[in-house]
Amino acid sequence: MSELRIYQEASAARAEAAYTGYEDIRRALDKIGVGFERWEASKQLDTEASQDEVIEAYRDAIDRLMKAYGFKSVDVISLYASHPQKEAMRDKFLHEHTHDDFEVRFFVEGEGLFNIRKDGHVYAMRCAQGDLISVPANTTHWFDMGPNPNLKAIRLFTTPEGWVANFTGDNIADRFPRLEAPHYTAG
Ligand SMILES: [Fe+2]
């Protein structure tokens, strides 16, 4: 289930607000410049769908974003609980960082938790199947795929180098709920 929780940066214990409705989430993220959309596939995909089949199913929406933002390339990543390096892969993006490029993810399957720090608040956006999130360049954030990742996502890039993570060195991510926290695993 998609859910946005908004915390004061200094107070991870309690969220100030929580939204699950699409329009509420979209409006709250729009205020901090983060794009949020929900896409429908043009045809049903099974778990074994190839990268080309996934891209083809969402071709119209991908083309629209590529034109609007000047993205040059697109790919599909898949990460599952059976991945031998799942812990290392999870850990890498659990530290606060920025990129020189947009970070755009469309969740074809599964889920992931984006935490965006902006204006003294942390926006914890749990993305689910059908959600597209677009985090602008130079925005501080971290990402949790959970201890047992279940994730198939389309990524859009303007440059291959743009998605290198610049770590801030701040340990803020350690203070905020992870994807396996009780209120996240409950639903
Ligand atoms: Fe990132």
Output the domain CATH number for residue 118.
2.60.120.10
Distance CA 102, CA 151 (A): 20
Distance 8 CA to ligand 1 centre (A): 21
Distance 143 CA to ligand 1 centre (A): 7
How much is the pLDDT for 161?
74
Distance 81 CA to ligand 1 centre (A): 20
How much is the pLDDT for 187?
46
pLDDT per position as a tens digit, 90-145: 999 999 999 999 899 999 999 999 999 999 999 999 999 999 999 999 999 999 99
Q: Which of 31, 156, 170 is nearest to 98 (CA)?
A: 170
Domain of residue 20, residue span = 3-185
Distance 142 CA to ligand 1 centre (A): 6
pLDDT per position as a tens digit, 47-75: 888 999 999 999 999 999 899 888 988 99
Domains: count for the chain? 1
